[in-house]
Structure 1
Amino acid sequence: MRDGALWVTQNKTGARLGIEVTGELAAVIARISERPRRAISLFLIQDENGQPLTYFALRSRFDKARKHATVSFQFRDIRAKAATDTGDLAHSQKLLAHKNRDMTEHYVRSRTGERVRPLR
């Protein structure tokens, strides 16, 4: 986190993206920061020793939480949900760091479905 934004790097393209820390995200980050810790570090999501969670550790914890909550969705579904929930295609494109609007439309369309007219 730097300058009021949560900075991430997209794995596939390497695009850097600063997500503004406002609203519900700010509340979640505040809740995470208030948790008791044995070690203090700069990492927002960290293990018990203050080290950043690796991809595999995060995935393992996500899988356990999903099983405990008895829901069935994949980790990758979160991106499509984020794109759909914004309600603004231009914002979704920036959020997902897509260079092409068609790719963002694909994400949103595959999640919400296409609207068609009846036969008669």
Structure 2
Amino acid sequence: MHARQPEIWDAVYECAVPELRDTMDLAYLTGQRPADVLSMRAADCIEGHLQVSQDKTAKKLRIELSSSNQANNLGLLVERLMKQRKERGVRNPYLITTEDGRNVTASMLRLRFDDARKSAIGHALKAQDELLAQQIRKFQFRDIRPKVASEIGDLTHASRLLGHTDKRITLTVYRRAGEIVKPTR
């Protein structure tokens, strides 16, 4: 994503159906790959953590759902997803489901993301913002991981959340924003 990153995210997010918004939120808050986000299950929430087993690397993570005995943003999202599951009578084990209770597959995610992006491009063009439309056109779901890596100030924390054993991977592949530095005076 680019300098207008929040605008690009917001434009697509506003056009997204609820399950896409949930998937985007879960991907952003956990920093995980799309396939790992879609495979997260209600049973993965154990003892105040979301247990993640990354498919690509087999790395295991326990992501905190609370801080100082209060739910963090991820904890609040998981609570809402669990409540939705109960209200909808969802029987499948996945956290991310459609309004009718089906788990969201990779192809469903792709179609929903493409639809939201296309709609967001249309809104940008209607507002005569060609540059934003071009940037939205380039935005892909997989850009969420680099967004996470770039927004977390602490490189060690970003690397650990993304499941990298070497900070250089996070720095060279995923960090897309330059380091923030102070001037001489």
Fold match (TM-score > 0.5)? yes
Pairing 1:78–2:144 present: yes
SS of residue in 2 equivalent to 1:44: coil
CA offsets 1:77-97 (integer angstroms, 9 cap, x no match): 111111111110110110111
CA distance in 1 between partners of 2:113 and 2:52 (Å): 19
The number of aligned residues is 113
Q: Structure 1-normalised TM-score?
A: 0.75
- Structure number with the higher helix fraction is 2
Label 1:8 to 1:88 Cα distance change in 2 as closer, same or farther (>3 A): same
CA distance in 1 between counterparts of 2:120 and 2:81 reads 20
Mapped pair 1:28 → 2:93: no
Matched residue, 2:178? 113
The one-letter code of the counterpart of 1:32 is L
- How far apart, in 1, do the equivalents of 2:179 and 2:75 lie? 34
In the alignment, which residue of structure 1 is the partner of 2:52?
8
Structure-2 change in CA distance of 1:91 and 1:114 (3 Å): closer
Is 1:63 aligned with 2:111? no
- Cα separation, 2, equivalents of 1:18 and 1:67: 35
Q: After superposition, where does 1:93-104 map in structure 2 within 5 Å?
A: 93-104=159-170
* Unmatched segments (≥5 aa) in structure 2: 1-44, 67-71, 122-135, 181-185
Unaligned runs of 5+ in 1: 116-120
Change (3 A) 1:114 1:82: closer
TM-score by length of 2: 0.52
User: Hey, what does 2:132 align to over in structure 1?
Assistant: none
Structural RMSD (CA): 2.3
